[in-house]
């Protein structure tokens, strides 16, 4: 991209701040009943004040809720992203579009990108992506499996804010499920139940998500 490492990480921080504003707007528009329903499906306590739900676990709930496709209605993330795109240009509009078009999958860390961030392989759908994220770069070793939504911004991709670490058993189980379903891998991974399963395992194992990096 012609930028130095510090400039790239500064760009990520700006994009992450925009991402958080859009996610906050999407979350604020959610019906409480929808959030409680998803929390229950994840095995978390139903509590209208969320006092008993750890912040990290609540992040998984909100990620699922804002990307939840309700019959006949746009997803909350789509509405919030389009509102942002009406009033913003440049990086902010690119981030909004990235959130709207993000895809969920399991990604294997291949190694460090020579400029900044990580190179990951989409273990379910194929292909590689450059993920610009300083924290993931520091915490993720090669061959780490990450369940996440990625959205392409401009040459690089960024997460939707929540990342769960998985084991090879989970990856193999997903591959078997795709094979048994008769569906294309992309269609299967778009099923909300797949992200639900990955996040539920992460919560059950006490795996910390990485929400709030900016």
- 128 strand-pairing partners: 121
In a domain, 212, yes or no: no
In a domain, 176, yes or no: yes
- Pairing mode, if any, of strands 145-152 and 118-122? unpaired
Residue 146 near residue 157 (C-beta atoms within 8 A) = no
Q: Is 143 left (phi over 0), alpha (psi -120 to 50) or beta?
A: left
User: Can you say how many angstroms the Cα of residue 154 is from the centroid of all Cα atoms in its chain?
Assistant: 17
Rg (CA), the chain: 17
User: Residue by residue, what is the 3-state secondary structure of 16-60?
Assistant: HHHHHHHHHHHHHCCCHHHHHHHHHHCCCCCCCCCCCCCHHHHHH
What distances in angstroms separate CA 195 from CA 10, 33, 54, 90, one per listed residue? 29, 20, 19, 30
Question: If DSSP codes are grouped into helix, strand and coil, which group holds residue 130?
Answer: strand
pLDDT score of 97: 95
In a domain, 185, yes or no: yes
What distances in angstroms separate CA 187 from CA 81, 182, 183, 198, 202, one per listed residue? 23, 10, 6, 16, 23
Residues 6+ apart with CB under 8 A from 66: 23, 26, 27, 30, 75, 76, 77, 80
Residue 95 near residue 79 (C-beta atoms within 8 A) = no
Tens digit of each residue's pLDDT, the chain (214 residues): 678 999 999 999 999 999 999 999 999 999 888 888 888 888 887 655 555 667 778 899 999 999 987 777 789 999 999 998 888 789 999 999 999 999 999 999 999 999 999 999 999 999 999 999 988 999 889 999 999 999 999 889 999 999 999 989 989 988 898 888 888 999 989 988 899 988 988 886 443 333 333 3
pLDDT score of 46: 62
pLDDT score of 119: 97
pLDDT score of 33: 87
In a domain, 12, yes or no: yes
In a domain, 214, yes or no: no
pLDDT score of 68: 87
Question: If DSSP codes are grouped into helix, strand and coil, which group holds residue 148?
Answer: strand
Domain that holds residue 197: 5-205
pLDDT score of 103: 96
pLDDT score of 69: 77
Residue 103 near residue 149 (C-beta atoms within 8 A) = yes
* Structural domains in the chain (count): 1
**What's the rounded Cα separation, in Å, for the pair 26 and 107?**
25
């Amino acid at each position: 991209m012609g930028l130095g490492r510090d400039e790239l990480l500064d760009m990520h921080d700006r994009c992450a701040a925009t991402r958080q504003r859009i996610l906050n707007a999407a979350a604020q528009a959610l019906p409480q009943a929808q959030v409680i329903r998803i929390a229950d499906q994840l095995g978390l306590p139903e509590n209208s004040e969320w006092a008993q739900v750890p912040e990290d676990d609540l992040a998984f709930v909100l990620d699922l809720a804002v990307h939840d496709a309700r019959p006949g209605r746009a997803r909350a993330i789509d509405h919030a992203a389009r509102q942002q795109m009406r009033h913003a240009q440049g990086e902010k509009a690119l981030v909004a579009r990235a959130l709207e078009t993000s895809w969920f999958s399991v990604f294997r860390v291949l190694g460090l990108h020579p400029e900044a961030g990580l190179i990951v392989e989409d273990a379910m759908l194929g292909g590689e992506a450059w993920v610009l994220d300083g924290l993931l770069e520091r915490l993720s070793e090669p061959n780490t499996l990450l369940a996440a939504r990625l959205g392409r911004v401009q040459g690089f991709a960024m997460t939707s804010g929540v990342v769960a670490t998985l084991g090879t058993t989970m990856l193999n189980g997903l591959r078997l499920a795709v094979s048994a379903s008769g569906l294309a891998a992309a269609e299967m991974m778009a099923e909300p139940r797949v992200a639900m399963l990955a996040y539920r395992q992460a919560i059950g194992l006490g795996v910390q998500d990485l929400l709030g990096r900016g």
